[in-house]
Amino acid sequence: MKIAYISLGCPKNEIDLEIILGRLGGHIDIVDDPRSAQGTIINTCAFIASAREESIQTILELISLKEKNPAYKILVTGCLPQRYHNLLEKEIPQVNAFFDTLEPIRTADDIGTLLQVSVADPISRRRITPKHYAYLRIADGCDNRCSYCAIPIIKGPYRSRAFADILDEAWSLVDSGARELILVAQDTTGYGNDLTPRRSLSELLLTLQEIDRLRWIRLMYTHPARWDDQLIDIVAHATKIVKYVDVPVQHASDRILESMHRRVTQDDIRSLIRKLRDRIPGIRLRSSLIVGYPGETRKEYRQLVDFVREVEFDRLGVFTYSHEEDTSAHALSDIVSHKTKIARQENLLAIQAEISYHKNRQLVGKTVEAVVDEIDKENKTSIARTPWDAPEIDNTVLIPAIYRVGEFLTVEITKADTFDLWGKVVSIAAEGDCSRQEKNLL
């Protein structure tokens, strides 16, 4: 049976889809194009309104295929049915099944039953990322209860994975070719607080650091209230942890930060950023901001603008506030108009573009490490990333020659613009050490 897949939303969603596809194993033929398949698994996002709209639009596009072929299977997984299962079944009856379980293994088993195919055991992820990098989920759910966020409603409370299970998966991913592990959770810095005995992100990072053939460890989705001196020191000194930190701060007004339930003040954020930059040489900071939160005044928005100019984040995402039902912020009045939200977003992004251009220009003439993510054969160009760039969301390095995907290169930067660098290769890195199995034999 030929089944296509569509992955929407965050890397955590992508992991769920990889588990589902791996569980279905060799009993289905995975194809890229839904038009050449007998059905499609759509892994959806429902975090904010725009994500829900994208998910619904994708489902409607597949329904047009089903109208031509009534036997076509539309299978919807992920956050959308987890949040709106009953409503979706009523409003979109053309979908064969909505799967609302939080456990991707159970979802795969249910899909197998519907498609009348067996499932694989033991379970392995069928990676949809390039072979050389993989997302490693260390926890799921969230207890932070930020006022604007629906994640705890969809995913439930914070649940750290067992330490040993994470390490086993990390070794398996590296043995399958991953040279970069990207740690994800709703809040990676909360890892281990709910385990008995208690564990910590610092302990986990130090253990992952020892994996042979692993070159880069990337830390995403950290909470500014949870950083401590030990974690800063580990990121500073562990050689495989890239000097890149994703720390969403969301705003710079103390009143709004308090209303958001972020547990930090503007001074706390400044202090953390100063510590990170003082104690981690070469650190690059990624953050995200929300504009248009209920009651955000012009003065508070100006505070945010001044903060962005002062701090000069290396990478920055700016999002408009989404009024999510069942969140505590949904009860707030004084809603900022859509037009104002967009204007504020565009203004901040323009400011960040200037900052990014200036920072990129400073790299011209310098050498950086980079990994090749993809090849543009038509233009004979390798598209790579530095350690300071996460896949798909950050900057790229364009190299006018063909190198192997997954190859680590030393590149001299010859040109720069706002979000791209150009460079020529100085050297190619050697492959790493032995696998876990090989190491156990030594």
108 and 145 inside one domain: no
290 and 338 inside one domain: yes
144 and 233 inside one domain: yes
Domain boundary among 327, 361, 395: 361
CA distances from 54 to 20, 43, 149 (A): 21, 11, 18
The verdict on residue 439 lying in a domain is no
Q: What pLDDT does 123 receive?
A: 66
Two tokens at 319?
A: 């999002």
Classify each residue of 266-295 as buried b or exposed e, where b means 16 or more C-beta atoms within 10 Å of its C-beta. bebbbebbeebeeebeebbbbbbbbbbbbb
Average pLDDT of the residues of the chain: 92
234 and 186 inside one domain: yes
The verdict on residue 122 lying in a domain is no
The verdict on residue 336 lying in a domain is yes
- How many residues does this entry show for the chain? 442
Q: What pLDDT does 35 receive?
A: 92
User: Please, what is the end-to-end C-alpha distance for the chain in angstroms?
Assistant: 43
331 and 373 inside one domain: no
174 and 247 inside one domain: yes
Range of the domain at 385: 367-428
Q: What pLDDT does 335 receive?
A: 85
Over the stretch 118-131, which tens digit does the pLDDT of each residue have? 887 766 788 889 99
Over the stretch 251-281, which tens digit does the pLDDT of each residue have? 999 999 999 999 999 999 999 999 999 999 9
Q: Are 141 and 149 in contact (CB under 8 A)?
A: no
202 and 340 inside one domain: yes
| Residue 435 pLDDT exceeds 60 | no
Segment 286-292 shows an average pLDDT of 97
CATH at 8: 3.40.50.12160
pTM over the 0.85 mark: yes
Over the stretch 338-393, which tens digit does the pLDDT of each residue have? 999 999 999 999 999 999 999 999 999 999 999 999 999 999 999 999 999 999 99
The verdict on residue 62 lying in a domain is yes
396 and 342 inside one domain: no
Domain boundary among 361, 382, 412: 361
Confidence of residue 431 (pLDDT cuts 50, 70, 90): low
Q: Are 59 and 74 in contact (CB under 8 A)?
A: yes
CATH at 375: 2.40.50.140
304 and 190 inside one domain: yes
Amino acid occupying residue 150: A
Q: What pLDDT does 13 receive?
A: 87
191 and 297 inside one domain: yes
Domain count of the chain? 3
The verdict on residue 434 lying in a domain is no
**Exposed, middle or buried by CB within 10 Å (0-12, 13-18, 19+), for 209?**
middle
Q: Residue 67 CA to chain centroid, in angstroms?
A: 34
β 381-385/396-399 pair status: antiparallel
Two tokens at 432?
A: 């790493």
H helical segments located in 116-179: 151-155, 163-175
CATH at 245: 3.80.30.20
The verdict on residue 442 lying in a domain is no
Element (H or E) spanning 331, and its range?
none
371 and 245 inside one domain: no
The verdict on residue 190 lying in a domain is yes
Q: What pLDDT does 441 receive?
A: 32
The verdict on residue 304 lying in a domain is yes
Among residues 219, 344, 354, the alpha carbon closest in space to that of 286 is found at 219
**Exposed, middle or buried by CB within 10 Å (0-12, 13-18, 19+), for 219?**
buried
| Residue 189 pLDDT exceeds 90 | yes
389 and 355 inside one domain: no
Segment 39-64 shows an average pLDDT of 91
The rounded distance, in Å, linking the Cα atoms of 119 and 160 is: 26
Domain boundary among 57, 82, 115: 115
